[in-house]
């Protein structure tokens, strides 16, 4: 066997393999470059919509106008989400998940915040997908993963614990009781989960603090005679 020929083939194989890796890296870089401007706009629109809802802390009785204003931002958000889903191969969703993880968590907060202010209940996964016009699974298109959705729920709990305090400041003594019942129910539901995600486990510790904070607000209302001790959320 010609040893030099064998060596030439080995060198060619190495060059070929590295050429494929170079092309793959360039392709991935192009996709990331295409994602960034869309994601930047999506992040900004999402933050603006959440900021609209956070005005509820200044006047907890003005929820209808605020949710309507936030929902008015949804068409632009939905359009950007559709654009985002076209710039990467569908099977590569998790490869780029690190880029949009935080934005997806904010989208979960946005959807669950709107839903709570309108209904007083926790949004379901299919309802969140319908609201944002997303898929349920990454196999079918752009989606919000279960972990990101749960992280958004924990952010919602923090917003609501703050709202409980601010509602009292503005003379609304009913909302803290409703929030206390809701957050306690959410806490019980999270206890049923086997949270293996370290990030979620750390965030869940914050939910325990939110529960305690709201219960203290309700207790203060009770001892001041501003609510009936027998109402939900009093214990």
How far from the centroid of its chain's Cα atoms is residue 169's Cα?
Answer: 28
pLDDT score for 12: 66
No. of H helices and E strands in the chain?
8, 0
| Closest residue by Cα to residue 183 from 227, 139, 120 | 120
Residue 7 bridge partners (DSSP) = none
**Torsion angle of the four alpha carbons 14, 20, 21, 24, in this order, in degrees rounded to the nearest 10:** 180
pLDDT score for 229: 43
What fold does the segment set 3-223 form as a domain? Methane Monooxygenase Hydroxylase; Chain G, domain 1 (1.20.58)
Rounded distance between C-alpha atoms, residue 35 and residue 37, angstroms: 6
Who's near 160: CB < 8 A, 6+ residues apart? 116, 179, 182, 183, 210, 214
Can you list the residues of the chain whose pLDDT is less than 70?
A: 1-26, 60-61, 197, 226-235
**How far from each other are the two terminal CA atoms of the chain, in whole angstroms?**
86
Domain boundaries along the sequence of the chain:
3-223
Per the structure block, which two tokens stand in for 149?
């959705």
Rounded distance between C-alpha atoms, residue 128 and residue 111, angstroms: 6
pLDDT score for 62: 79
């Amino acid at each position: 066997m010609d040893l030099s020929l064998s060596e030439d083939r080995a060198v060619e194989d190495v060059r070929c393999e590295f050429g494929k890796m170079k092309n793959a890296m360039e392709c991935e870089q192009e996709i990331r470059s295409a994602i960034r401007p869309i994601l930047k706009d999506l992040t900004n629109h999402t933050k603006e919509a959440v900021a609209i809802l956070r005005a509820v802390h200044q006047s907890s009785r003005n929820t209808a106008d605020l949710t309507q204003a936030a929902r008015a931002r949804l068409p632009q958000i939905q359009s950007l989400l559709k654009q985002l889903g076209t710039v990467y191969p569908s099977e590569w969703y998790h490869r780029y998940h690190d880029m949009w993880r935080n934005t997806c968590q904010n989208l979960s907060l946005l959807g669950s915040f709107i839903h709570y202010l309108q209904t007083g209940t926790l949004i379901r996964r299919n309802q969140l997908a319908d609201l944002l016009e997303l898929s349920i699974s990454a196999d079918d298109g752009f989606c919000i993963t279960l972990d990101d959705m749960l992280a958004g729920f924990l952010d919602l709990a923090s917003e609501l614990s703050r709202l409980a305090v601010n509602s009292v400041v503005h003379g609304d003594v009913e909302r803290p009781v409703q929030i206390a019942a809701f957050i306690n129910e959410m806490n019980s539901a999270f206890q049923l989960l086997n949270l293996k995600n370290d990030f979620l486990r750390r965030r869940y510790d914050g939910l325990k603090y939110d529960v305690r904070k709201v219960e203290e607000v309700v207790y203060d209302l009770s001892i001041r005679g501003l609510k009936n001790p027998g109402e939900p959320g009093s214990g």
